[in-house]
Amino acid sequence: MSDHATTIEPSFLVDTGTRKGLVAWLTTTDHKRIGLLYLYAMTCFFLVGMGIGFVMRLVQLTSFQELVSAQTYNAMFTVHGVIMIFLFVIPGLPAVFGNFFLPILIGAKDVSFPRLNLTSWYFYMAGAILAVLSLFTGGGAPDTGWTFYAPFSLRTGTNVSLAVFAAFVLGFSSMLTGINFITTVVRLRAPGMTWFRMPLFCWAVFATAWIQILATPIVAITLVLVILERAFGIGVFDPAKGGDPVLYQHLFWIYSHPAVYIMILPAMGAISEILPTFAKRTIFGYKAIAFSSLAIAGVGSLVWAHHMFTSGMSPLAQLLFSLLTMVVAVPSAIKVFNWVSTLYKGSIDFQPPLLFALTFIFLFCIGGLTGVMQGALAINIAVHDTYFIVGHFHYVMFGGTGFAFFAALLYWFPKMFGRMYSKNAIYASWFPLFVGFNLLYFTMLILGLEGMPRRYYVHLPQYHTLHVVATVGSWFLVAGVLMFIGTLVRAAVKGSRAEANPWGGVTLEWTIASPPPVENFAEIPTVTTGPYHFPQEAR
Amino acid sequence: MTELMHRDDQGAKLGMWLFLVTEMVLFGGLFVAYSYMRYRYPAEFHHGGQELNVTLGVVNTVVLLTSSLTVVLSIVAIQRADRRTTMALLYATVGLGLTFLVIKGFEWAAKFQHGLYPSSAHLATLPAGEQVFFGLYFTMTGLHGLHVLVGICVLSALARMVARGSIRQDHYVHLENGGLYWHLVDVIWIFLLPLFYLAA
């Protein structure tokens, strides 16, 4: 593994073409630049979504209810969900790190369809702009919740059609990215990069891409049906015309449950990259982790109706969906056990990415186990539509995907920007993040078990103390996020120069300069070993 | 950085096939809705199907199948470096596509004249299942029609590329992909015909 850090090839951050500055970025087909474009856009949307969540917590203190009306509150939880899910968590890791690192990890110069890749980003931005427009135009911000359940979504006077169309456009972006990644993995692996020499992040992105192309079209057509229903009254979901609102729920969740795995699989892939590097040993159970990604993608597509146990369904269907839901826990647990085994007897080099990766495992376990609880029919019906669901969901999506996103960012930041952040500042931000997160969302789990329904503007007095605790937790969390982002922004501008391989990683991205040159590899590498082959490791 | 791009015809075709998968799943969602509604309202769907013009449906099927043939022949022609025949066949395909849309337009217009369209006063007096039938009929044939329209635009663009010489005997993967898309449009119609017209 030679060190190309000293080569004179310009990095991708330097404009080498005829176009300069912003124009060069907005017309780029370089997968690395497109990854960063996603990162910048997503950071903005994440901050907006977080701001809305912050205000929603304030409302639950009850002293701010003059500022936010009940109708506005409904719009806020809808928009918070739409922004966080469709603009941050679903595209999150695949669009940023998948774009940036998938080609590098398999030894390619770019994705298969670079122009399509840029098109995906424009679809993403168009969808985002439409989503924002839907807040201020028409009958006002949508107030249906991010699930757009019929028949209310057909009747409400708010601007559901535009918001739904925005989600449709975002889905298109997601599908095109999925097509691109599958083709890239199949066609562009470097010589010697066999399927089982691929880094696990590539496996995760590959499995995710399959869900993206197999599930997203379903939600696309469902959302089109909602628009047609609102515009022309075609009657498929409208009970007054013989339609069936439960059909909407099925079609919606046929996509939106697999979408949960679109969100979490790449996160798991990133964790599988980070742990070997900091344990300085190969991953434990490579094939088990690779196949469990595919198993999650497969089985995860067959569990959607567990969102609908209270919507009316035959006992047999309930039983089957309950069983399948619990089956998904198996491949997830396989991953967790393999990660922990990877650390066992490793030479642990404790660095910020590892801290966040371990935090991910801890929080994801809570999220996953509360998920198994809800797979059980009796518990499901008791906690349905309570804060327990909200808490569980945030443990998986924020504690899981969010923290994995942070971990991946910390891991690959020096490679992406060629600069190193202040590790102490990151450690300092971890405390409010971790404490605030658990104060906020574990309290929600308790609130839910005590019976606090989700999406309520007001609450009964007996829940007030816990609501105050959760709100205080949200302040810590927001402070932690701002410290974290602030540290990285500062580092991107004036951090110290990073080496080509600051962590001692052995996958291909660490063999090239930081930041990578435009064409990634001066010469396409030939791969002769598995991805996590540490020469110093005693076998 | 277009100089990074290299030619990978197999990759391009793989990408196209994956795209077609998404299209199939897109219509698949509608087929799921159709199956469920037909299971729920068998008699109404039977009666709704009787309102449709089977002759026009069959004529349109023949038109579309023929257009699939012409697009295949255009690929054969470009393989023989016969640019004029390629373009003629592509324009024939476009013409057949337009014919399909015109016939479809007449059908829709007739339905509108009879008050058989979503939210019409007449349809509201019919049983619930028939309202759903026509809701699905207009949605599914409408979405299919939209795909025909997109296909027409794609094939016209391909014809121009043939004229400009960017599709050649040794480089015609775009034409093949366009043809694949057109076949998909065709195949979906093959399913729509029995589901709506022959359901009675």
| Pairwise CB contact (< 8 Å): A244 & B36 | yes
Q: Could you tell me if A119 lies within 8 Å of chain B, comparing CB atoms?
A: no
Cβ-based burial of A341 (10 A; exposed 0-12, middle 13-18, buried ≥19): middle
Q: Could you tell me if A19 lies within 8 Å of chain B, comparing CB atoms?
A: no
Ramachandran angles phi, psi of A420, nearest 5°: -110, 140
User: How far is the first Cα of chain B from the last one, in angstroms, to the nearest whole number?
Assistant: 56
Radius of gyration of chain A (CA): 23
Q: Which of the four pLDDT bands, split at 50, 70 and 90, describes residue A537? A: low
Which of residues A58 and A65 earns the better pLDDT score?
A: A58
Disruptive mutation site among B16, B25, B30 for chain A (greatest number of A CBs within 10 Å): B25
Q: So what's the ipTM on this one? A: 0.92
Which of residues A64 and A225 earns the better pLDDT score?
A: A225
Residue A208 neighbours by CB distance under 10 Å: 31
Residue A520 maps to a domain: no
Q: How far is B92 from chain A (nearest CA, A)?
A: 29
Of B44, B136, B143, the CB nearest to A236: B136
Residue A372 maps to a domain: yes
pLDDT of A351 above 80: yes
Q: Which domain holds residue A151?
A: 21-511
Q: In this predicted structure, what is the pLDDT of residue B6? A: 65
| Pairwise CB contact (< 8 Å): A183 & B5 | no
State the greatest distance between any 2 C-alpha atoms of chain A, in Å, as a whole number.
Answer: 71
Kindly state the DSSP code that residue A418 receives in the 8-state scheme. S
Residue A524 maps to a domain: no
Disruptive mutation site among A19, A27, A211, A221 for chain B (greatest number of B CBs within 10 Å): A221
Q: Which A residues 213-232 touch B at CB under 8 Å?
A: 213-218, 220-222, 224-225, 228, 232
Angle of helix A403-417 relative to helix A245-279, nearest 10 degrees, comes to 50
CA distance linking residue A418 with residue B118, whole number of Å: 59
For residue A389, give the nearest of A454, A313, A302, A326 by alpha carbon.
A454
Residue A12 maps to a domain: no
Q: Give the domain CATH number at A133.
A: 1.20.210.10
pLDDT of A369 above 90: yes
Instruction: For chain B, list residues whose CB is within 8 angstroms of any CB belonging to chain A.
Output: 1-2, 4-5, 8, 10-12, 14-15, 18-19, 21-23, 25-30, 32-33, 36-37, 40-41, 44, 117-119, 127-129, 131-132, 135-136, 138-139, 143
pLDDT of A2 above 60: no
Question: Is the CB of residue A390 less than 8 Å from the CB of residue A444?
Answer: yes
Q: Which of the four pLDDT bands, split at 50, 70 and 90, describes residue A140? A: confident
How many distinct structural domains can be found in chain A?
Answer: 1
Task: Pull the structure tokens for residue B124.
Answer: 């509201």
Helices (H) and strands (E) in chain A, counts: 18, 2
Q: How far is A5 from chain B (nearest CA, A)?
A: 21
pLDDT of A247 above 90: yes
H or E element that contains A503: none
Is pTM beyond 0.80? Reply is yes
Residue A432 maps to a domain: yes
For chain B, which domains are there?
Answer: 8-197 (1.20.120.80)
A140 φψ region: left (φ > 0), alpha (ψ -120 to 50), beta (else): left
Q: In this predicted structure, what is the pLDDT of residue A66? A: 80
Non-local CB neighbours of A487 within 8 Å, separated by 6+ positions: A421, A422, A425, A426, A429
CA distance linking residue A237 with residue A246, whole number of Å: 8
User: How far is the first Cα of chain A from the last one, in angstroms, to the nearest whole number?
Assistant: 20
Q: Which A residues 471-510 touch B at CB under 8 Å?
A: none
CA distance linking residue A139 with residue A142, whole number of Å: 8
Chains A & B: contacts with CB separation below 8 Å: 126
pLDDT truncated to tens, each residue of chain B (200 aa)? 333 446 889 999 999 999 999 999 999 999 999 999 999 999 999 999 999 999 999 999 999 999 999 999 999 999 999 999 999 999 999 999 999 999 999 999 999 999 999 988 999 899 999 999 999 999 999 999 999 999 999 999 999 999 999 999 999 999 999 999 999 999 999 999 999 999 87
CA distance linking residue B129 with residue A328, whole number of Å: 38
pLDDT of A494 above 60: yes
Mean confidence (pLDDT) of chain A: 93
Disruptive mutation site among A168, A179, A246, A252 for chain B (greatest number of B CBs within 10 Å): A179
Residue A537 maps to a domain: no
Residue A369 maps to a domain: yes
For residue A410, give the nearest of A422, A428, A394, A396 by alpha carbon.
A422
Residue A518 maps to a domain: no
